[in-house]
Amino acid sequence: MNNKRAIFIYVGINIFFAICVFYYPLLRDEFYYFDRLSAWQLMQEYYNSYFNVNPRIGQLVTNVVSRNPLLEVMYSVFLFNAFFALLFLLVFRRLPKFTNDDASKFLIIVGLFIILINVFGEMFFYTPYSGNYTFLMLFYMLYYYIFSEYFVEGNDVLKRIKTLWRYPLILLIGVFTGMGNEHVPPVLIGFSGLAIVYYLFQKRKWPSNDLILYWCSTVTGYLLLFFAPANTQKYKGLGQSAYQFQWSSYLHQWKEVVKLYYYYNPLLLVAMVLLIVYYLFSLKHLDFKSNAVQRNVLLLLVGFSTLFIVAYAPLSGTRLTFFSNTLFILFLCNFIFKEKSGIAKLMRRCLSVIAPWFALGYFVVGSYICFRASENSKSVLLEIEQKSRHSKKVILDRGFDYYSKDLPWVMLNRSLFLDRGVGYIDDNENEDSSQEKILKQYFRLEKLSIKKNEHK
Instruction: Label residue 260 by pLDDT band (50, 70, 90).
Output: very high
CA 62 to CA 80: how far, in whole Å?
Answer: 15
Cβ neighbours of residue 328 closer than 8 Å, sequence gap 6 or more: 268, 272, 299, 300, 303
According to DSSP, the residues that pair with 395 across neighbouring strands are 449
pLDDT of residue 243: 64
Three-class DSSP labels, 39-75: HHHHHHHHHHHHHHCCCCCHHHHHHHHCCCHHHHHHH
pLDDT tens profile 102-154:
999 999 999 999 999 999 999 999 999 999 999 999 999 999 999 999 999 99
Looking at every residue in the chain, the average pLDDT score rounds to 92
Torsion (CA) 415, 416, 417, 422 in degrees, nearest 10: -90
What is the pLDDT at residue 399? 92
Show me where the domains of the chain are located.
Answer: 35-67+118-339, 378-450
| Residue 75 binned pLDDT confidence (cut-offs 50, 70, 90) | very high
Maximum CA extent, the chain: 78
Look at residues 343, 339, 360, 252 and name the one whose alpha carbon lies nearest to residue 290.
Answer: 339
Per residue in 16-31, pLDDT (tens digit) is 999 999 999 999 999 9
In 10 A of CB 94, how many CB atoms?
Answer: 9
Report cis status (omega within 30 of 0) of the bond before 408.
yes
The predicted model gives 256-264 an average pLDDT of 93
Report H helices in 238-341.
247-264, 266-281, 291-310, 322-338
Q: What is the pLDDT of residue 316?
A: 83
